[in-house]
Amino acid sequence: MAKLFKDKDKFFIDKFYYALGWPFRKVYQGVKFVVSKVRHAKFERNPEAEAKHIEKQEKKKTKRKSFVNSIIEKDKQIAARMIHAINRMDRRHDRIAGKAEAVASAGTEKWNLAREWAELNKKQLLVKFACLVIVLGCIAGVVNICTAYEYSYNGRRLGVVKDQDDVLRVCDIVSSKLTREHGAEIAIDKEQDITFRKVFRFGKDIDDMEAVANRMTYMQDMVAHGIAIMINGNRVAIVDSEETAQLILDSVLATFVVEKENTEYEEVGFAEDVTLEPIDTRLGRLENTYDVVMKILNGGQEIKTHIVQSGETLSGIASKYNISMADLQATNPLLNPARLSIGQEIILTQAVPLLTVQTVEVSTLIEYMPYQTLYENNSSIYLGETSVKVKGVPGEREVVAKIVKNNGVEVARLELQSTILSDPTNEVLYTGTKPLPPKQGTGTFISPLSSYTITSRFGSRWGSFHSAIDMAAPSGTKIRASDGGTVTFAGYSGSYGYLLKIDHGGGYETYYAHCSKLHVSKGDKVYQGQHIANVGSTGYSTGPHLHFEVRYLGTPKNPLNYI
């Protein structure tokens, strides 16, 4: 039992034992006694377990002893290092104190020498000091005179002033002046927008207040409070005020809203979402009223495709769509005006408004009622040709309708009331049943026009030779073949415009120039009197007429000698 108690950890158990006090010590002793009895009984039954337990306790004891010894050793090392550090600090303090004492001694010695020298050279020192004060005063005066301030607006250098306050005072004046001139609120933030940099300048480079005002008045990057015109969320222009923006929108509306008799507008507005929003911008970005109106009316672009029809010319197409020839050729760079072919596609680019002015109007209109065309056979007219017996006259009716227009173009109509004013007169046409003559030359010629006026004869004209006669007639008048034959050319030919050439055989040939429309093609056989073209003014022409030539073996002859 005694051996078991000796194996216990005396270091911790005793500490715990004496700390509990007398009551607890008694309890502890009882528990300790019971534990020892139980352990002793266990070891009597198993001696090997007792030996292992003793060996295990010895190892723990050895480890604890080694741990305590290592802590003691580390404490010794730390203490030794601290002693070494303290000694080193003491030696360093001693050296510093020695140096400080030496410096103080040397300083005192030098001060005494300087004081003695000053006493001996008192007058000279006073003179030099006075000169130094004068020089410094002069330098300060020059610096004060030459000191100026470079002023800038939002980083943009404007000029140089003597006093910063000159610029700050001018800012308020300029803001008021520009606000009155442009109608927009022009605000200059003197703390944020205006910056200064000290510089040295002298003379004429310095701005006075008038020069500052002029520089700031003509700045285009001055901050301005404007109004943005927004179309479907996209900004299209910035103007000076809401009143100007509204005036612009009213001007656009007025372009397509025209007061007319028998027309009453029920609704007028924009198809798009138009809003006015305040915006901070630069003075130079404010647009004038006229430019914005033109931008809204012509700022959009629409691309169309035109299919060339028989008899059409490039100038006629340009006129039809109100496009200049230059713009038409710029859009179609590979287009040859002299070689248009039927079915050819021409790209058209037209300026269209950015806004759609939508109107709903109730109008009283006079509309024409189409007539019918009736046909009667006539044996005196060639087969396939027609002649008017009774000219058709359209009827008239008065219509009251509600019409929806987009930018003046009708897009929908609801007829509310209709009254017939006159019935149409049907047109009656003779249709020819007479057999066609041979499609070859007869050796005789007839006039290509039934009614005409000769405006230029065959022979000398304006210092040159005129190889034909010019037969003036209304545009669209039928041109007939002077004799039967074969069409050798049908198309556009420079100054001739649209031209037909017919070979009649026997060396004879006729030319028909400046036509508006051709009804035959190269290689076709025609008979005398056949409708082959219409009078026009294409090519080099001063008005609608037929340029008619008769040639024999290639030499022009006077047509009046043949018809």
With beta carbons less than 8 A apart as the criterion, state whether 139 and 133 touch.
no
With beta carbons less than 8 A apart as the criterion, state whether 534 and 540 touch.
no
For residues 67-93, average pLDDT:
79
CATH number of 438-561: 2.70.70.10
Quote the pLDDT of residue 346: 87
pLDDT in tens, 489-509: 999 998 999 999 999 999 999
Quote the pLDDT of residue 11: 47
Cα 469 to Cα 19, 176, 263, 458, 545, distances in angstroms: 149, 76, 52, 5, 10
Which range of 53-57, 159-163, 300-304, 448-452 scores highest in mean pLDDT? It is 448-452
Local confidence band at 122 (pLDDT 50, 70, 90 cut-offs) = low
* CATH architecture type of domain 300-352: Roll (3.10)
Q: What's CA 469's distance to the chain center, in Å?
A: 58
Quote the pLDDT of residue 287: 82
Quote the pLDDT of residue 204: 58
For residues 32-40, average pLDDT:
69
Question: Residue 305 corresponds to which tokens in the numbers above?
Answer: 């495709």
For residues 315-319, average pLDDT:
85
Dihedral, CA of residue 142, residue 144, residue 149 and residue 150, to nearest 10? 0
Spatial neighbors of 162 by CB under 8 A, at least 6 apart, are 148, 149, 206
Tokens 């509309």 found at? 367
Question: Residue 285 corresponds to which tokens in the numbers above?
Answer: 């970005």
* Residue 35 backbone phi and psi in degrees, to 5: -60, -40
User: First CA to last CA across the chain, in angstroms?
Assistant: 166
For residues 476-486, average pLDDT:
95
Local confidence band at 35 (pLDDT 50, 70, 90 cut-offs) = low
User: How many whole angstroms separate alpha carbon 295 and alpha carbon 289?
Assistant: 10
Averaged confidence pLDDT in the chain? 81
Quote the pLDDT of residue 341: 84
pLDDT in tens, 420-437: 999 999 999 999 898 888
In the chain, where the domains are located:
146-219, 226-298, 300-352, 358-432, 438-561
User: How many whole angstroms separate alpha carbon 285 and alpha carbon 218?
Assistant: 14
To the question of pTM greater than 0.95 for the whole model, the response is: no
3-state helix, strand, coil in the chain (%, to 5): 40, 35, 25
Q: 446 or 260: whose pLDDT is higher?
A: 446
User: How many whole angstroms separate alpha carbon 563 and alpha carbon 551?
Assistant: 13
**Shortest CA distance to 507 belongs to which of 560, 555, 437?**
555
Quote the pLDDT of residue 175: 65
pLDDT in tens, 222-254: 666 788 999 999 988 888 888 889 999 999 999
For residues 508-518, average pLDDT:
96
With beta carbons less than 8 A apart as the criterion, state whether 550 and 538 touch.
no
**Whether the predicted pLDDT of 199 surpasses 80:** no
CATH number of 358-432: 2.20.230.10
Local confidence band at 62 (pLDDT 50, 70, 90 cut-offs) = confident
For residues 177-181, average pLDDT:
62
Q: 450 or 134: whose pLDDT is higher?
A: 450
Cα 227 to Cα 178, 274, 285, 288, distances in angstroms: 16, 13, 11, 12
With beta carbons less than 8 A apart as the criterion, state whether 534 and 478 touch.
yes
